[in-house]
Amino acid sequence: MKVLIIGGGIGGLTAALCLHGAGMEVVVCESVPEIKPLGVGINLLPHSMRVLSRVGLLERIAEHAVETAELSYFNKFGQRFWSEPRGQFAGYKWPQFSVHRGVLQYILFDAVRETLGPDAVRTNHHLDHFEQNDEGVVAHFVDRATGEMIHEERADLLVGADGINSVVRQQLYPDEGPPIYSENVLYRGTTMMPPFLAGNVMAMIGSMQQKMVVYPIAKPDVDGRVLTNWVGNLNEGQSTLTARDWNREADKDRLLDLYKTWQFDWLDVPQMMAGSGKVYEFPMSDRNPLDRWTFGRVTLLGDAAHPMYPIGSNGASQAILDADALTRALTSTTDPLDALTAYDRERVPATAKVVLQNRAKGPDQILDLMEARFPTGFEKHEIPHDELAEVMDHYKRVAGFDVQSLNQLT
């Protein structure tokens, strides 16, 4: 059976590795002329590392990533009110990693070329449209720069892993319109700096009105400095930003002014921001969950299927879980069309819950809870541990990575 994957991002490349491992012929068509290390930090939770371990990438990722040991939450005065171990430090069979998105994409890209062959990923192939009948599916590609029709490819199945602005989804749902803007803008940067706290901590600071997420994404250099990813989240109301463009540059001076008082004894936020390279702005958006992704021989995967707010570190991980579920469905059912329906049945409701939880702030609800209750700070004995624990545990169950359930899997 031949599967055509549209999009060579995190989800598409993982699906290529999983499907090939299960004996299928796979071709990936990617819009950009050249895969470049774009993006900043991304997180791989233990449930997705289970999948990537099975395709043999645990060591390679470990070599380039930071193994996250702890997730901690702080108020805007830098007071810590929640801390929990993560990954293997929390008893999971698999680690949690923070890594540069471009580095991860390259690891996957190299692995696909090594195992599927050098021509398995065709760059500069932008999907224009597809059609399907009882015999198969035919996809038509253009050179995005010129609009010239360059190629058509036949396959038994087509998987749209073409991201938040998916052409496949648009053809399946022509009336849907653009992604839905959350009124929050994310400001993303990276800084080479000495490690903060224990050097393997992910820190969430502030409230959903003004937040900062900070975590290291690479090993220390010879001077002991680490590439540190930071994401400022500002509630900007109606913004002029509309397109979800991952690479638009932001006004760093304005940000420095907004965060100027966030100088803590464990991290100097303005100094970190000042030391960064370019800062990218990104309107935080998602789409309403769909009832179905599968139409005959065509289905969706990753951000094309369920774009979500980057809250709870789940965007890449859920795409990787889709790849695993799709492969399991196709190997456990003889009729591929039934398999796609089974994939839908498993993943559509599961990911819809995560999208909706993230809209309701996911685990970051505890930031707002503490801000509302203690706007001027708190005493240690006032921290409502049980209440915070309930929010955190609930999110793990919804997103499919509570330690007991996950560790039952092989």
Ligand X SMILES: Cc1cc2nc3c(=O)[nH]c(=O)nc-3n(C[C@H](O)[C@H](O)[C@H](O)COP(=O)(O)OP(=O)(O)OC[C@H]3O[C@@H](n4cnc5c(N)ncnc54)[C@H](O)[C@@H]3O)c2cc1C
Residue 160 binds ligand X, judged by CB under 6 A: no
Least separation in angstroms between residue 302's CB and ligand X is: 2
CA dist 383 and 264 (Å) reads 20
CA dist 139 and 159 (Å) reads 11
Query: Judged by CB under 6 A, which stretch of 159-167, 286-294, 371-379, 391-399 contacts ligand X?
Result: 159-167
Per-residue interface string for the shown chain with ligand X, residues 171-190, x marking contact by CB under 6 A: -----------------x--
Tell me how many residues contact ligand X (CB under 6 A): 31
- Strand pairing category for 201-206 and 70-74: parallel
Please return the burial class of 359, using the count of CB atoms within 10 Å of its CB with bins 0-12, 13-18 and 19+.
middle
Residue pair 104/113 in contact by the 8 Å Cβ criterion: no
Please return the burial class of 31, using the count of CB atoms within 10 Å of its CB with bins 0-12, 13-18 and 19+.
buried
> What is the phi/psi pair of residue 222, to 5°?
-60, -25
Which of 151/397 has CB closer to ligand X?
151
Residue 246 binds ligand X, judged by CB under 6 A: yes
Which of 250/370 has CB closer to ligand X?
250
Among 46, 179, 283, 302, binds ligand X (CB under 6 A): 302
Among 11, 189, 232, 362, binds ligand X (CB under 6 A): 11
Query: Judged by CB under 6 A, which stretch of 18-26, 63-71, 156-164, 267-275 contacts ligand X?
Result: 156-164
Inter-helix orientation angle 365-373/385-398, to 10°? 160
Residue pair 28/52 in contact by the 8 Å Cβ criterion: no
CA dist 51 and 114 (Å) reads 18
Residue 101 binds ligand X, judged by CB under 6 A: yes
In this structure, the chain runs to a length of: 410
Residue pair 329/346 in contact by the 8 Å Cβ criterion: yes
CA dist 49 and 97 (Å) reads 8
Q: Which residue has the tokens 């290529």?
A: 16
Which of 78/315 has CB closer to ligand X?
315
Which of 145, 51, 142, 135 lies closest to 93, judged by CA?
A: 51
Among 316, 323, 339, 340, binds ligand X (CB under 6 A): 316
Least separation in angstroms between residue 151's CB and ligand X is: 11
Among 3, 4, 12, 137, binds ligand X (CB under 6 A): 12
Residue 40 binds ligand X, judged by CB under 6 A: yes
Residue 150 binds ligand X, judged by CB under 6 A: no
**Distance linking the first and last C-alpha atoms of the chain:** 27
Which of 42/51 has CB closer to ligand X?
42
Residue 30 binds ligand X, judged by CB under 6 A: yes
Among 20, 24, 31, 206, binds ligand X (CB under 6 A): 31
Q: Which residue is nearest to ligand X (CB)?
A: 9
CA dist 339 and 24 (Å) reads 14
Residue 283 binds ligand X, judged by CB under 6 A: no
Residue 46 binds ligand X, judged by CB under 6 A: no
Name the site residues for ligand X (rule: CB under 6 A): 6-12, 29-32, 38-40, 42, 101, 126-127, 161-163, 167, 188, 246, 302-304, 310, 315-316, 319
